[in-house]
Amino acid sequence: MASVGRDRNGTRRILFIDPTDGRRRTIRLGRCSQRQAQAVKVKVEHLVKAKIMGGDIDDEVARWATTIGDDLHARLAAVGLLQERVNARLGEFLHSYMEGRRAEIKPQTAVHLGHTIRNLLAFFDPEKPLREITEQDAIGFRSYLLKQGLAEATIRRRCGIGKQFFAAAMEGGMIGSNPFKSKRLPCSVKGNKERQFFVTPEMTEQILTACPDAEWRLLVSLARFGGLRTPSESLRLRWQDIDWERGRFTVHSPKTEHHSGHESRVVPLFQEVREPLMQVFEAAEDGAEFCITRYRPNNLNLRTQFERIVRRAGLRPWPRLWQNCRSSRQTELCQDFPEHVVCAWMGNSKLVAREHYEQVRDEDFERAAQCAQKAAQQPSAPACTGRKPTPKEDPENADLLVSAGTCEAAQKGGLGPEGFEPSTKGL
């Protein structure tokens, strides 16, 4: 289907017949070895075959086409075997990526993507071609974020989003490799134990007392005792989701709804949640759909208001106010229920729970110390040095004397030479 030719000056070329018009086409490779020319010839044959069949090219050939240089790619495009390579610029690509996904991504996701785009365009030149961004450039981007004073988790998340951007560029054939896919560039978000904080029930009671109304008390109770993500899951809670008789309610999660089977979960109607929920229900207007109505506007910053309530309660705001309420509840529940049951109620996996939610509390150390102290104070059983009374000396057990005597007589008799079993011929 294709052949390798050699010119007088030592350069090589690949010859093939164009299936569209039957004409012979030539791809000049320049000076290269016969082995290199043969490798390109094999790929050309795959491309010609795909053109004849009218289907997509093989995945391996498609990956190869993204890794070759611009010169060879242009020669293959000139004979109709590949599409012309678009030398996309970073700023242009990021803009088109966001426009293409704006309809399908959630508002909060758009915010995170926007932060990463802003950092990328501040570090790189917006006119920089995507193909010129290297792995070393990506590592330099991480160093740039470190100098901005961002937390490690934030840096990992933004590097992960950068990896997502360039993966899309690879799928579009704009680049041959992903510069952010490097072992030296950590992108997975790890739990930060230093930012974990256990919100005790006593602290929660103080906060509930300081809340301005019943709906705020419900918001805090849903986060701290229901384990809901706030505000996303709390604001989605509807009255039709509450099963008062069976003592449970359904939580719709926008964070996990794109995973099949994780659109919603059922959570027990804990007593700490039932009471504030009933207060809001009794005060709700006829025909009300959502449990929380006063604090639904998107521009309402619940975290800032929550921080004010915490200060009003005489407490100092802790890191990740809403997140640590949910984390505290998961830690409590894991003391009384199996981990897989708690994870089903909380809507996360065991791996995520152990990395980001479950905490080791001070009272765990105190309880362990108390157990050790009790074990040290436990008196050991006294050694048995006295002689046990015989049946004659113990009137209550006198009837055992006959049995013991019979047993002793049987032992003195011994066994005969043959024992219990009859002798065999072999013996």
* pLDDT tens digit sequence for 361-386: 777 787 787 787 777 776 655 555 55
Among candidate residues 78, 111, 140, the one where a domain is terminated:
78
Determine contact, residues 197/324, Cβ cutoff 8 Å.
yes
Which neighbouring-strand residues pair with 15?
3, 26
Same domain, 113 and 18: no
Residue 290 in domain: yes
* pLDDT tens digit sequence for 34-64: 899 899 999 888 888 888 887 777 778 877 8
Same domain, 201 and 318: yes
Query: How remote is the C-alpha of 136 from its chain's centroid?
Result: 27
DSSP-based three-state secondary structure for 13? strand
Give the integer Cα–Cα distance in Å for 165 and 120.
Answer: 11
Give the integer Cα–Cα distance in Å for 330 and 5.
Answer: 70
Tell me how crowded residue 47 is: count the other CB atoms within 10 A of its CB: 22
Residue 311 in domain: yes
What is the average pLDDT value for the chain, to the nearest integer? Answer: 85
Same domain, 171 and 119: yes
Determine contact, residues 241/346, Cβ cutoff 8 Å.
no
Q: Specify the pTM.
A: 0.61
HSE value, Cβ hemisphere, 13 Å, CA-based, for 70: 10
Report the pLDDT value the prediction gives residue 131, as an integer from 0 to 100. 85
* pLDDT tens digit sequence for 176-186: 788 998 888 88
> What is the average pLDDT across 101-111?
85
Same domain, 58 and 110: no
Q: How many domains does the chain have?
A: 3
Same domain, 156 and 15: no
* Domain coverage including residue 265: 195-363
Residue 84 has pLDDT above 90, yes or no: no
Residue 66 in domain: yes
Residue 387 in domain: no
We report the CATH number of the domain holding residue 232 as 1.10.443.10
* Predicted confidence band of residue 356 (pLDDT cuts 50, 70, 90): confident
Tell me the one-letter amino acid at 66.
T
Q: At what angle do helices 321-333 and 302-312 cross, to 10 degrees?
A: 70
Q: b/e map of 18-30 (b: 16 or more CB within 10 Å)?
A: eeeeeeebebebe
Same domain, 67 and 103: no
Residue 138 in domain: yes
Determine contact, residues 217/279, Cβ cutoff 8 Å.
yes
DSSP-based three-state secondary structure for 16? strand
Q: At what angle do helices 107-123 and 152-171 cross, to 10 degrees?
A: 90
Same domain, 183 and 157: yes
Gyration radius of the chain's alpha carbons: 37
Same domain, 182 and 199: no
Residue 333 has pLDDT above 90, yes or no: yes
At 416, give phi and psi (nearest 5°).
Answer: -75, 175
DSSP-based three-state secondary structure for 85? coil
Where is pLDDT greater, at 388 or 35? Answer: 35
Same domain, 204 and 178: no
Q: Which two tokens stand for residue 191?
A: 């739990």
Report the pLDDT value the prediction gives residue 385, as an integer from 0 to 100. 56
Same domain, 109 and 96: yes
We report the CATH number of the domain holding residue 173 as 1.10.150.130
Residue 378 in domain: no
Name which of 7-16, 62-71, 198-207, 211-220 the model is least confident about.
62-71
Residue 271 in domain: yes
Residue 388 in domain: no
Q: Which two tokens stand for residue 107?
A: 């508002």
HSE value, Cβ hemisphere, 13 Å, CA-based, for 78: 10
Same domain, 96 and 164: yes
> What is the average pLDDT across 70-95?
86
Among candidate residues 363, 389, 405, the one where a domain is terminated:
363
Same domain, 185 and 236: no
Among candidate residues 190, 211, 230, the one where a domain is terminated:
190
